[in-house]
Each structure stands twice: as structure tokens, then as C-alpha cells.
Homo-oligomer: A and B are copies of this chain.
Amino acid sequence: MIITLTTDFGAADAYVGIMKGVMLAIAHDLRFVDLSHEVPSYDILRAALVLNSAWRHFPKGSIHLVVVDPGVGSQRRPLALSAGGHIFVGPDNGVFSFILKEPAPNVYHITDTGLFKVPVSTTFHGRDIFAPVAARLASGLPPASVGPRIDDAIRLTIPIPRRSSAETLVATVLQVDKFGNIMTNLRREDLVKPFCIHVGGQEIRAISSSYAEVMAGVLFAIEGSSGYIELSLNKESAAGKLLLQGGAEIKVTLEV
């Protein structure tokens, strides 16, 4: 059984390894795939985006464990979800916002303390609650048996492009990747031609079809692998050059 992991734990400490040890002690034949452990500390939106970019590519039945959990030790609920043929485990803080948009998700509040590693610490529910529950779900425990079904799981307000006037759209930078590609919340269908993206004193009027077709040094827009429009430079960091990061706003004018 495949379990993916997404956390803000970083690579220096053994926290991720500890969770894997706890899971292997429950279910011997697990295969782990790390999605990212470099989510910025407490960055729930980023964790939701990482998960959203990846889960669909795994075989049905995979379990996706997310531990970005600034509310650890508080009353925030631990959740198990089933949606799209996959299972998800993590805190009720918005990390599953995209999953909750899938058709007919089933969301369960994990209340069966018999599934936990005891004593449950107040600082590391990844080890004591989420990992043991994920391992038991991987061993065949039905999600419905972890606790009551709920329908009020927390959803982040994912920013969508906002029309500030008849001819102006305000887009938001969702994140910047390792190459400096700037992922906006624009979709191809938002950019009915003719359009103009205004950014860093430059104007972009077309969606390019590949990195390689654009000359070095020329900023361009492209549909990224997650389906969002990204602003990029060929073999250079667009985000580094424009000094843009997640949350920045970008003006788009549309001809009306």
C-alpha cells in the first residue's frame, strides 16, 4: 500500500523518519513517497497546493498523509477523508481544501482513540495520531470506522482572479517553484484574447507553448503542469528577477 507524505518538517530532524517507523511497526508492507517536507512552516495553503498537484497521479487506493499542523495540541479535529478513490489523513485546518471540491467526498472526524499511539503527546500528532491512523487505513480499516462523518471541514478561501473593473482582472500569485516559475491563480479560460498581463513593467499578450520557444531574458506566460498559468523565464528565475512571491497581485487587462 502506498502512503504519500506532505509536511513542513524539513529534512534535518528525524520527524518524518519517526512517522515512517511508527507506520512500519503497524503495517510492514508500506511504500512511502515523499511529496514535500519543505512546505514553509505552518503554510497550509502551500500544503494544499502540493497535495493538489500530486495525489491524482498515484494509483487509486493510495493514502495521502498531510502534517502541516500549526494547531497541534489544540481542539482542531484530526480528519480522514475518502474522495476520488483515494484516502487522505491530516488536520482539519484547510490542507484538504482542494480535495473537498472533489465530487462527494466523505469526511470523518477521527475520534477513536484506540487507534492512537499512547500516550498522545501535545506536540507531535503526526507521530501519535496521524501516522498510526494512516497505517491502519492502509491495512484495510475502513475510513468510516475512525469516527463520525462530518460536513463542516475547514476550507481555505483559495484566491480566484477578481474582476476589479469591466476590463481589469486582478490575479494572485499562488506560489513560486524551485525554478522561479511564478504560479498564478489564472486559468487558460480566464485569458480570453486579447489580454495583457502587466508585471514588472512588462506586458505579456500571449500564452507561450513551451519554455524552449522563448528567447532568453524574455518574460512569458505558459500553462503550467498543474493547469495554472505561470510566468516564466527560459533558464532563469522569473520570481527572482521580478521579486515576486506567493500572495502578490498581478493586473491583467482584457479588451471589452
Count of chain copies: 3
Nearest-CB distance from A67 to chain B (Å)?
Answer: 12
Q: A124-B225, A177-B13 are in contact. Are A71 and B212 (CB under 8 A)?
A: yes
In the complex, are the beta carbons of A57 and B25 less than 8 A apart?
Answer: yes
Flag if A59 contacts B235 (CB, 8 Å): no
User: Which of B11, B13, B33, B122 makes the CB contact (< 8 A) with A222?
Assistant: B122
* Additional A-B contact list (12), CB under 8 Å, known A10-B178, A25-B58: A9-B178, A10-B38, A13-B177, A18-B225, A20-B33, A24-B62, A41-B178, A42-B235, A70-B211, A73-B210, A122-B222, A123-B223
Q: Which of A80-111 contact B (CB under 8 A)?
A: none
Q: Are B36 and A11 in contact (CB under 8 A)?
A: yes
- Closest residue of chain B to A117 (Cβ to Cβ) is B57
Contact pattern, A 6-39, Cβ under 8 Å of B = 1, otherwise 0? 1011111111111011101100100111111111
Query: Distance in Å from the Cβ of A138 to the closest Cβ of chain B?
Result: 14
Nearest-neighbour CB distance to chain B for A248, whole angstroms, equals 18
Query: Are the CB atoms of B17 and A225 closer together than 8 Å?
Result: no
A-B contacts, 29 listed (Cβ < 8 Å)? A4-B17, A11-B38, A12-B39, A13-B50, A13-B53, A14-B35, A14-B36, A14-B50, A14-B51, A14-B54, A15-B177, A17-B34, A17-B35, A17-B36, A21-B33, A21-B54, A21-B59, A24-B33, A25-B58, A28-B59, A31-B31, A41-B235, A57-B127, A73-B210, A73-B212, A74-B210, A122-B211, A123-B210, A123-B223
